[in-house]
Structures are given as C-alpha cells and as structure tokens.
Amino acid sequence: MLTKIISGVLVAVILFMGVKQGLAMITGKPEMLEMFDKLGLQKATVMVLGIITLLGTVLIALPKTFLWGNFIMATTILMILCLQLSHNNLKGAAMEVPFLLLNLIVIYLRHPLDN
C-alpha cells in the first residue's frame, strides 16, 4: 500500500514536470530555447523534443503504456544529459540525473493503478 502511494506521488511529479517542460519546449520559451541553443539544437528540433516529451507523459499516465512512456521520457533525459556532457557542461548534466533516476525508480515501483 505504501509503495502505491509513493509511486502515485512520484508519477504525479513526473506528469507535472513532463507537461511543464514539454509545453515550454513546444511554445519556445526563451530560457528553454537558450539552453538548447547552447547544445546546438534549433527551435524546430526543440519543438519536436517537446512533442516527444508530452507523448511520453501521456503514456506514463496510462497503466498499459506506463513502461513505454517511461522509456521515452528516460531516453529524452539521457539525450539531454549526453548533450550537456558533450559540451562540457557538468552542472547541466548533473541537473538531469535526478530526473533520470526518478523515471527509473518509478519503473521499479510500477504504476500506482497497476494490479
């Protein structure tokens, strides 16, 4: 029971962050575009990444596609982490690690509505 509560809270955090970040990428928030510009990504690429992030978020919300959504989300986070490292931005890469771990922990705990 406690595991389902913890999983539910973590899934809610992931859903909130996924929607927030995905919409920021799609709408082209200046701080988001500035960060990705430093990584060599153009506005159109950031928009596509935002759509992929929102898709992963929707899939995480549903128990049957939960695992695939987390894979998509973890992959996008890992890609950003690798881009940060390739540009020698250790601080930026370190900021991505907790989000990657959050997805991995939630995969382990499973969806809170899963039997």
Residues 8-32 pLDDT 10s? 999 999 999 999 999 999 999 999 9
In 3D, which of 89, 60, 92, 63 has the Cα closest to residue 77?
92
**Residue 11, phi-psi category: left (phi > 0), alpha (psi -120 to 50), beta (remainder):** alpha
Q: How many domains does the chain have?
A: 1
Tell me if 94 is assigned to some domain.
yes
| Domain ranges, residue 53 | 2-109
Amino acid at 83: L
Tell me if 73 is assigned to some domain.
yes
Tell me if 52 is assigned to some domain.
yes
* Phi, psi of 3, rounded to the nearest 5 degrees: -60, -40
Tell me if 114 is assigned to some domain.
no
Tell me if 87 is assigned to some domain.
yes
Are the C-beta atoms of residues 57 and 19 closer than 8 Å to each other?
Answer: yes
Tell me if 48 is assigned to some domain.
yes
> So what's the pLDDT on residue 1?
86
Confidence of residue 115 (pLDDT cuts 50, 70, 90): confident
Residues 67-107 pLDDT 10s? 999 999 999 999 999 999 999 999 999 999 999 999 999 99
Tell me if 115 is assigned to some domain.
no
Tell me if 20 is assigned to some domain.
yes
What's the whole-number mean pLDDT along residues 37-59? 95
